[in-house]
A and B are shown apart, each in its own frame.
Chain A
């Protein structure tokens, strides 16, 4: 029995070796290494690019549902300035943004995903009772937004083709999804990653705890204002921000891009019917 498993395991690792070795570009790696040796220019540079992308993408992924607050007098909910921020001449304080809001789950599928895989993912999502809405973003739409995001870094942005970018589903669950549900999505063959933001990010005293959202559905509603998600029934409690769907009126642009970049793809590049579909429930 052990010998049988030993053979099987050896075969599995041979398979791994075959899979990986056939995709390694040794000459490119060597060239990169020589370029970066001494200064480590390339590797940190790439890391820096990825890091910058990370910050922007995080904003993009939750931006449309996030509650942005700054330590100054400006409060912005769902992209609409409220209160003192409306005052003429009131500029954005350079304070660090705090992201709060409902959970966002992004399911990345391989760029070359076939329709049956997409249908499987969609069916799985449909089987979850607590999903308010979800969007599907194909590689083309993702690429358009990628170009917007990295358009000023021509060498980087030009080197990435739409066929290399993953497709994704962005889910807006009414309640944070359980690990079991996330694992169910991850277990689908062809799903690259499933990423779930925490319901509240950067939580501090300027940011309501997630538990309050459950107790005060209107507070959560106020943050769930995407272009594709129908506003939930609201009964705004006194003292809480009202749901906002209007575009920003005056003041500095608080939310980063007007067309939300990359994986969310909630706005912007929904060009073709196949490109982006919204499925409010």
Chain B
């Protein structure tokens, strides 16, 4: 049982987890806060979580739960909360960090479907693992994946395509698409 170095773990995982939180909420704004709070929880329990075989899995679960809660609340946020979000420095900065068309396409998906898609495509979780993490049936995951792909493709088709630069970089970023397609 080896206790990992927290800082090292943070540096290696933080950005990817922010991507996951963004994928689940469909918003860049607030994603860092969700991950930061989860990291803080992990930090306080690091003597235990740091010994897990896959601490990232624990964080993924916490982050997805929080992100889905945020996504559920966002439609009911008070006017004041939303105004404050817009004017907060980090949020306004982050808002620019996500292609508006991409954000809109993600937010067009139902909340659970978005979470399924994010876990599958960003975390490369299998159908079974996604179902386990979300506490839903595998059939539901498959249905969400099928419908989500279609809806996302339709949304993206209606909007501008991703920049070529992004496509070029993805070859190095995502090396898991082959294994995913085999599932």
| In the bound complex, CA of A32 to CA of B85 (Å) | 19
In the complex, A247 has a CB within 8 A of chain B: no
How many chain-B residues does the 8 Å CB contact rule pick out?
A: 71
Given contacts A9-B153, A26-B14, A195-B79, contact A53 B87 (CB under 8 A): yes
B47 contacts chain A at the CB level, 8 A cutoff: no
CB distance from A66 to the nearest CB of B (A): 12
Would you give the 0/1 interface string for B90-121, flagging 1 where the beta carbon is closer than 8 Å to chain A? 00111111111110111000000000011001
Question: Number of A-B pairs whose CB atoms are under 8 Å?
Answer: 202
Stretch at the interface among B38-46, B62-70, B127-135: B38-46
**How many A residues, CB 8 Å from partner?**
68
1/0 per position for B51-94, CB-CB distance to A under 8 A? 00000000000000000000000000011111111111100111
Q: Is the interface of A mostly helix, strand, loop or mixed?
A: helix
On whether the beta carbons of B86 and A108 are closer than 8 Å, the reply is yes
Residues of A near B79 (CB, < 8 A) are: 58, 61, 195-198, 201
Say which one of A15-23, A82-90, A221-229, A238-246 lies at the interface with B.
Answer: A15-23
Question: Are B167 and A15 interface neighbours, CB within 8 A?
Answer: yes
Instruction: Say whether A37 contacts B43, CB under 8 Å.
Output: yes
> Provided the pairs A26-B10, A40-B40, A263-B87 are in contact, do residues A8 and B97 lie with their beta carbons within 8 angstroms?
no
| Shortest CB distance A177–B (Å) | 14
The chain B residue with its CB closest to the CB of A26 is B14
Whether A14 contacts B87 by the Cβ 8 Å rule is no
B residues in contact (CB < 8 Å) with A: 7, 10-11, 14-16, 18-19, 22-23, 28, 31-33, 35-37, 39-40, 43-44, 78-89, 92-102, 104-106, 117-118, 121-122, 146, 148-150, 152-153, 156, 159, 162-163, 165-167, 169-170, 173-174, 177, 180-181
18 contacts between A and B (CB under 8 A): A8-B153, A13-B117, A13-B174, A15-B170, A20-B97, A20-B98, A21-B16, A23-B28, A24-B15, A26-B15, A29-B32, A30-B10, A43-B33, A43-B37, A57-B84, A58-B78, A164-B89, A196-B79
